Amino acid sequence: MSSAVESTNKPVPDDGTGVLQIDPWLEPYSEGLRQRYAAYKKTLDFINEHEGGLAQFSEGHKKMGLQVDENGGVTYREWAPGAAEARLIGEFNGWSHTANPMTKSPYGVWECYVPPKSPGVSAIPHDSMIKISMTLPSGESIDRLPTWITRVTQDLNVSPVYDARFWNPPETYKFKHGHSTNSIEGLKIYEAHGKSFGISSPNERVTTYKEFETDVLPKIKDLGYNTIQMMAIMEHAYYASFGYQVTSFFAASSRYGTPEELKSLVDKAHELGITVLLDVVHSHACKNVLDGLNEFDGTDHLYFHEGARGRHELWDSRLFNYGHPEVLRFLLSNLRFWMDEYMFDGFRFDGVTSMMYRHHGMGVGFSGGYHEYFGDSVDIEAMVYLMLANRMLHDIYPDVITIAEDVSGMPTLCRPVPEGGVGFDYRLAMAIPDMWIKLLKEKSDDEWDIGNIVHTLTNRRHLERSVAYAESHDQALVGDKTLAFWLMDKEMYDYMSDLSPLTPIIDRGLALHKMIRFLVHALGGEAYLNFEGNEFGHPEWMDFPREGNGNSFAHARRQFNLVDDNLLRYKYLNEFDKVMNQLESQYKWLSAPQGYVSLKHEGDKTIVFERAGLLFIFNFHPTNSFTDYRVGVDQAGKYKVVLNSDDKRFGGHARVDDNGEYFTTPMEWNGRKNWLQVYIPQRSVLVLGLAQ
């Protein structure tokens, strides 16, 4: 574990109460912890006894679905206990309902074997269309896409319904690089393409995997990010659903290219030293019947709970039955598939709040009281699945990274499973971007509550890592605006050129955009996430082609061309992002203990804190610069400037001498052993480090 998140040295009890050693306030809820851990152990014991352990149980993708042997023969297996008859149909057999019948096991698994056309030649042509056809007990015949299918395509000129493809290319992509072995610490995450992969270029069309590999990966590397979080890769119902209505869990979205091209992209990222995380949606599934999991075998309850418990009212989707062994096999194997077949290095689990509670977080305002996290509202089966998933991933893949999207603040979410935790490495600090948008929408600069800003950035659970971020992809969607647009929308179209006057609005926007990002980076967590485009102040909002906007791509793109134009001021924000990341890589504050805040002055609008041996001084005051401003610092010595947001190269005014020296005086100030004095201009941040 890191210096920021440590384990205790005490023996860990084997009943799920080990987490009490780091949080004694959980003691009144120890019985709930025991019950949760007992349910996990019961399921794990069942898997160990009947399935040969978690590792073997989670390799369903190597047995289920379409499996090709060395001779070219194809075995197809599908769990569909509700069907009375089943057969494999497709272009290969003229869609015959008699050529390839399937037999049913006592456990409801259907199977058939398609012998090779000739030695080594499959009778099912590569990329040809296939389906499973089933007869229900009522006599009705239904056709479905195989649930474990790895390739589906969509021809919107014909129908929005997907076609299943038998993906068996003569040459598969051979990885040159294995999984990333980057440290779990110091994650600087570039959230690629927001909610959908295809926005990653200035072009008004869907961007391809290949274009992202060639054009965007080098930008991410140059900016100093060491991790990519890829969204909307699992095939989903339609483009404007932002990737969250998954239809085929084992299929990489065909909108952006082929499976082999996605593998090449991941491999190239690894070559550049970048860790690649997949946004995995196991919180719910698309309710589509013809090309999804819904009513797959004609029943309401195959992969999902039946009735109201199996439906998410707000998302209009289906909810998994995490208590069923075959559902666990499907989901755990899905994680292994993406790790093994595509070499992803870990996952950001979407919608974890919805999973953990029977109310799914709808209509509930979490206050932080521990009683909200234990009791009847908690979905123990879903919690057990998350514990199994994290245990399995961390046991098999030593360098795996898992991040939970949870707005509730569930205690123990990011503690190891053997302690009684849920096992995630990080949680998203979702309150932080909400705070900034609320400030920019509702408050003038002189009304900003400095104490509340600091509280929001530092209010995280002890010894549980957080991913801090300033801008959420949700806030950039149509109906809202990016941070830069909230700051400068009145003048971004006319005054972002260096050839135009630096107006007060643009000057304020550039300054605050840098300060907001940097404060979040340095104080907000143990990892930092940037939403694609925020590094250079992407304007406007994000909106995907849909009927309501005339199917326009105008706002479904990232305008990297704005950075490349040397006459535009976006280059200053981009350069600041790069230097900010480089500085973290040098001093490693994300791996250090939480920053010590010595000053949060409401009148001066200043924030001063120390972290990783650096002294951070923020002046958010809209008009006042301070000369000989006294700040406390623990370590004595001579300090130098290591970052100054007012530097000319960042679009600033160069009001601070970057070669200045700052000497400490040994007298207590704001609870620190020493003090020094600085000139800190309005709307700027100064970072000092000890001179060598």
CATH of the domain at 661: 2.60.40.1180
| Domain end residue (candidates: 364, 397, 428) | 428
**Those residues with Cβ within 8 angstroms of residue 365's Cβ, 6 or more apart along the chain or in another chain:** none
Residue 123, pLDDT > 60, answer: yes
Tell me whether residue 453 is exposed, middle or buried, using C-beta atoms within 10 angstroms of its C-beta: 0 to 12, 13 to 18, 19 or more: buried
Q: Running DSSP on this structure, what letter comes out for residue 566?
A: T
Tokens of 556: 């479904």
Is residue 222 one of the residues assigned to a domain? no
CA distance 169 to 165: 11
Task: Check if 316 is active-site.
Answer: no
Partners of residue 11 on adjacent β-strands: none
Distance from C-alpha of 619 to C-alpha of 567, rounded to nearest angstrom: 28
For range 256-273, the mean pLDDT: 97
Burial call 488-500: b when 16+ CB within 10 Å, e when fewer: bbebbeebbeeee
* Mean pLDDT value across residues 184-188: 96
* In a domain? residue 347: yes
How far is Cα 237 from Cα 251, in angstroms, rounded to an integer? 12
**What separation in angstroms does the CA of 519 have from each of 104, 171, 368?**
60, 48, 24
Q: Categorize the per-residue pLDDT at 242 as very low, low, confident or very high, splitting at 50, 70 and 90.
A: low
For all residues of the chain together, what is the average pLDDT?
93
The answer to whether residue 340 sits within a structural domain is: yes
Signed CA dihedral, 497, 500, 505, 508: sign only: positive
One-letter amino acid at 469 equals Y
* Catalytic status, residue 51: no
Q: Which has the minimum average pLDDT: 369-378, 421-430, 572-581?
A: 369-378
Q: Provide the number of structural domains found in the chain.
A: 2
Within a domain: residue 209?
A: no
> With bands split at pLDDT 50, 70 and 90, how would you rate the model's confidence at 39?
very high
- Domain endpoint, select from 428, 445, 470: 428
Kind of pairing, strands 466-469 and 527-531? parallel
In whole angstroms, give the CA distance from residue 239 to residue 258. Answer: 17
Strand order in the sheet with 606-611: 596-601, 606-611, 614-619, 684-690, 638-644, 661-663
> Of all helices (H) and strands (E), which one includes residue 188?
strand 187-192
Q: Facing residues of 596 across strands?
A: 610
User: Tell me, what amino acid is at 37?
Assistant: Y
The DSSP result for 114-133, as a single string, is E--SBTTB-SS-TT-EEEEE
256/259 Cα distance (integer angstroms): 9
How far is Cα 87 from Cα 135, in angstroms, rounded to an integer? 9
Query: Is residue 653, in this structure, part of any structural domain at all?
Result: yes
Average pLDDT over residues 434-462: 96
- CA–CA distances in Å: residue 162 to residues 25, 260, 324: 51, 20, 27
Cβ 629 vs Cβ 669: under 8 Å: no
Q: What is the pLDDT of residue 3?
A: 36
Residues above pLDDT 90, as percent of the chain: 85
Tell me the mean pLDDT in the region 122-139. Answer: 98
Query: What digits encode the pLDDT tens for the residues 601-635?
Result: 999 999 999 999 999 999 999 999 999 999 999 99
Please tell me the distance from the alpha carbon of residue 58 to that of residue 333, in angstroms, as a whole number. 4
* Active-site entry in 163, 350, 379, 526: 350
Tell how many helices (H) and how many strands (E) occur in the chain: 14, 29
- Rounded Cα–Cα distance for residues 440 and 483 (Å): 8
Nearest Cα residue to 580 out of 620, 535, 617, 611: 535
Per-residue DSSP letter, 301: -
| pLDDT higher than 70, residue 194 | no
Enter the pTM of the model.
0.95
CA atoms of 94 and 568, how far apart (whole Å): 59
pLDDT at 527 over 80: yes
Q: State the catalytic residue, choosing from 372, 381, 405, 610.
A: 405
Q: What is the pLDDT of residue 32?
A: 96
In this structure, the chain runs to a length of 692
Is the pLDDT assigned to residue 196 strictly greater than 80? no
Mutual angle of helices 380-396 and 30-51, in 10-degree steps: 60
What are the distances in angstroms from CA 415 to CA 7, 17, 461?
A: 9, 11, 11
Print the domain residue range for 674.
595-690
3 state SS of 306? coil
Domain boundary among 379, 408, 428: 428
Domain presence at residue 215: no
Provide φ and ψ at 687, rounded to 5°.
-120, 125
What is the arithmetic mean of pLDDT over 663-679? 98
